[in-house]
Structure 1
Amino acid sequence: MTPYDGTSDPSHHLNNFRSRMYLTDASDVIRCKAFPTTLTKTAKWFDSLPPRSIASFDDLAKKFLARFSIQKDKAKHAPNLLGIKQGDWESLRNYMERFNKVCLDIQSLLIEASIMGLINGLREGPFSHSISKKYPTTLNEVQERAEKYINMEENTRLGENSKSGFCYPPRDKAKEFGKKED
């Protein structure tokens, strides 16, 4: 079980804990003693509770929810995607990875909303122009199309890095033309 750090939905953490305790058939006392071990240092508010202020696990759960319920409001929603923008020098791969991580934190995210958020955050460039000409309808389509531009970006970077090494001399168009004539 992932320890609760005070930044996510407290009711989700509490429900996970209750499910695990139900499976072990733990008593109320055991649940009260075990619950604090599922919290990180930042979430250990109970250290400041007065002694004997908890009468049952339900009492502990209510105090936990009262203390951390504000975090529930900080949960991410689809409109949060509109704030994610590709940086001026950020690669398309890095942007896509960063965007996908945020999408994972949003429950019940509609495909259309994620596609719109991703497109909205793209900086001006070949991929954004391509997407604006033919709007994708699935995330798979977005990923396939993005992969082509990611590969082009990475190949361009490799080409720029190899310029410091050996490079081929420019072709002489007149010689090529003359060979074709023969």
Structure 2
Amino acid sequence: MDLYDGTTDPRHHLSNFKSRMYVADAFDVTHCKAFLTILTKAVMKWFDNLPPRSVTCFDNLARKFLTRFSTQKNKVKHASSLLEVKQEAEETLSNYMEIFNKTCLEIQNLPTEAVIMGLVNGLKGRAILSIYNQATPDFLK
């Protein structure tokens, strides 16, 4: 597991850690001790500055951790985010599709209509014709 450096979503990091501890069937005190081993030195400074005896259990430590690093949480993306993904002038269709698909994965409950609209909106002209020609039977052209 990667060390937490304070720059990414703390909820994601905490969730990964809890999953590993669940599989290990670890005790609460083990959670607390093990959690400290996956923090970078910079984040450990935060922990070292907590008042003595202020952490009473892992849930307490997790709340303090989330409170301190909550500004780093991932921004929620919405369907309108797809309209910002544009194929660059010299960008290949496959590269654009890779970026577009990654963006789609970051959006929860994404309607199919929004995917289609975002995809067509972001394609440069030649790519739209290429997709149309590949997807349309000859008798409809």
Alignment-derived partner of residue 89 in structure 1 = 90
Alignment-derived partner of residue 45 in structure 1 = 43
Distance 2:23 2:127 in 1: 50
Look at both structures and tell me which one has the larger radius of gyration over its CA atoms: 1
* CA-CA distance at 1:71 after TM superposition: 3.4
Distance 2:113 2:70 in 1: 30
Structure 2 unaligned runs (5+)? 136-141
* CA deviation vs aligned residue, 1:126-169 (integer Å, no higher than 9, x gap): 332476x8xxxxxxxxxx74xxxxxxxxxxxxxxxxxxxxxxxx
Does 1:11 find its partner at 2:3? no
Alignment-derived partner of residue 100 in structure 1 = 101
Distance 1:76 1:2 in 2: 24
* CA-CA distance at 1:101 after TM superposition: 2.0
Q: Which has the higher contact order (CA 8 A, sep 6+)?
A: 2
Does 1:128 find its partner at 2:119? no
Distance 1:37 1:107 in 2: 32
Structure 1 unaligned runs (5+)? 134-143, 146-182
Distance 1:17 1:26 in 2: 11
Give TM-score scaled by structure 1 length: 0.57
Alignment-derived partner of residue 112 in structure 2 = 111
Give TM-score scaled by structure 2 length: 0.71
Q: CA RMSD in A?
A: 2.9
* CA deviation vs aligned residue, 1:46-79 (integer Å, no higher than 9, x gap): 4223253433211210011112323335133322
Distance 2:116 2:20 in 1: 36
Aligned residues: 131
Consecutive aligned runs of 4 or more in structure 1 exceeding 6 Å deviation:
none
